[in-house]
Amino acid sequence: MTLPSGRHHDAVEIVNIAPLHGAGAIIGPSCVAAANLAVAEINSGTGILGCEVCVTTIDGGGPPQRVYDEVSALLATGMVHAVTGIPMPENRAAIMRAAAGRAPCLFGVGHDGLAAEEPGVFMIGEHPGIQTLVAVDWLYREFGARRWAVVASDYLWSRRIAPALREVLAPRHSVVAEHFVPIGAEDFDAVLDDPRLDAADGVILLLIGADAARFNRAFTAAGRADRQFRTGPTIDENVLLAGGLDANRNIYVPSSVIPDRRSAGHRDLLDRYLRLHHGFAPAFSRFANGAYRSLHALRTAVDTAGSFETARIHRALADRPVLEGPSGEFTFRGDQIVQPTFVARAAGVDFETLTVA
């Protein structure tokens, strides 16, 4: 892949990652549309370091080697200043290896602790296991739920995150069953007919995108939606929309980036998003907001450091972990941008924010 021609030679070139095929592609259009809003807002001001921002989106849903090769080739041109976006979990390490400190990477997802911290790599949000603990603790306080089944897509990320999740949940909560289903699965009978599931107060979903939507429909058809909760860090507004209204009862999710429609600032953000796309746009989901914030956080960090050099960005953050930019405040703790975790309830095909944990 090559960078588009016809751009100013002094433009800031950013490679933005979004899953465009596979089970995770359900979130891709939202992430691309939200990144377009961030670029428009940044360029309506002073850009980054006084330069116009141009974004090239690549598919973050392909095989890790292909994603690595594509990012490496773009960085090898010497024209790419940074990498942002929402890569699929199994591709983050590949992108980090490709960047290797040559350009800052700012991903709109939380660090899951499964890969070592790398110079110049920053992430938005908390460990997905910690976020899930916030939700299940809230469900315990509100409803007494403490026994959980884990249903996960069968791939590297979920295989590694599930043991970490069990460790985080203990001793207050117990995992009574664990199922790993193939990516793209259509049949969930083995999960739904497992008698151990009857002992669970709810299900923690670690399913990818479209798989989660299909599971939610099957879960509801099995008569479980009214008597068992669902939660997890991978459910977004696109999953709710794909599942349909009837499939989303008793879903409560944790997030630090779901837009809170009680907030005037978030309502204004959603209005700007719809105006940019002339009222017709994919859902501005939790992952879309992560993509949007990754670009704005990059702008704030680079403008503060006065450079795209990763060492200078790290030094600037060591001196000033709380950065104020045109789009708001970003608080860094190491390589993480931290913010409060909300618990939100599915309300039709959207989320209603209930509390800040």
Structure tokens given for 349: 């095909």
State the average pLDDT over residues 122-149.
Answer: 88
Q: What is the mean pLDDT of residues 16-25?
A: 90
- Is the confidence at residue 115, as pLDDT, over 70? no
Q: Are residues 244 and 167 in the same domain?
A: yes
The verdict on residue 178 lying in a domain is: yes
Instruction: Please check whether residue 272 lies inside any domain of the structure.
Output: yes
Q: Which of 255, 283, 299 is the last residue of a domain?
A: 255
Domain that holds residue 191: 130-255
**184, two tokens:** 């793209």
pLDDT tens for 272-331 read: 999 999 988 999 999 999 999 999 999 999 999 999 999 999 999 888 888 887 677 888
Structural contact between residues 176 and 149, judged by C-beta atoms closer than 8 angstroms = yes
User: Is residue 329 assigned to a domain?
Assistant: yes
Answer yes or no: do 108 and 168 share one domain: no
Pairing relationship of beta strands 252-255 and 342-347 according to DSSP bridges: antiparallel
- 142 and 90, same structural domain? no
Which range of 59-63, 291-295, 338-342 scores highest in mean pLDDT? It is 291-295
Is position 346 within any domain? Answer: no
| CA dihedral sign, ordered 77, 81, 86, 90 | positive
**pLDDT for position 125:** 66
Confirm whether 2 is domain-assigned: no
The reply to whether 38 and 136 lie within a common domain is no
* Residues 62-82: tens digit of each pLDDT: 888 999 999 999 999 999 999
* pLDDT tens track for 169-208: 988 999 999 999 999 999 999 999 999 999 999 999 999 8
- Residues 6+ positions from 271 with CB-CB distance below 8 Å: none
Is residue 227 located within the same domain as residue 267? no
> For residues 18-43, b (16+ Cβ closer than 10 Å) or e, as one string?
bbbebbbbbbbbbbbbbbbbbbebbb
Q: Partners of 20 in the beta sheet?
A: none
* 208: Cβ contacts below 8 Å, ≥ 6 apart: 22, 23, 24, 88, 153, 155, 183, 234
* Other CB atoms within 10 Å distance of the CB of residue 215: 24
Share of the chain above pLDDT 90, in %: 63
- Say how many C-beta atoms besides its own lie within 10 A of residue 187's C-beta: 11
Which pLDDT belongs to residue 323? 84
Q: Are residues 15 and 112 in the same domain?
A: yes
Handedness of CA 88, 292, 230, 175 (dihedral sign): positive
CATH number of the domain to which 298 belongs: 3.40.50.2300
Q: What's the domain count of the chain?
A: 2
Q: Are residues 135 and 249 in the same domain?
A: yes
* CA count, 13 A, side-chain hemisphere, 58: 25
For residues 232 and 187, membership in a common domain is answered with: yes
Residues 283 and 300 in one domain: yes
Say whether both 190 and 267 belong to one domain. no
Domain assignment of residue 5, yes or no: no
pTM for the model stands at: 0.91
The reply to whether 122 and 271 lie within a common domain is: yes
Tokens of 290: 């992560």
Question: What is the distance between the alpha carbons of residues 33 and 229, in angstroms, rounded to a whole number?
Answer: 31
Does 251 lie in the same domain as 292?
A: no
Q: Which residue has the higher pLDDT, 324 or 232?
A: 232
Confidence category of residue 165, pLDDT binned at 50, 70, 90: confident
Pair of tokens at residue 104: 């800052």
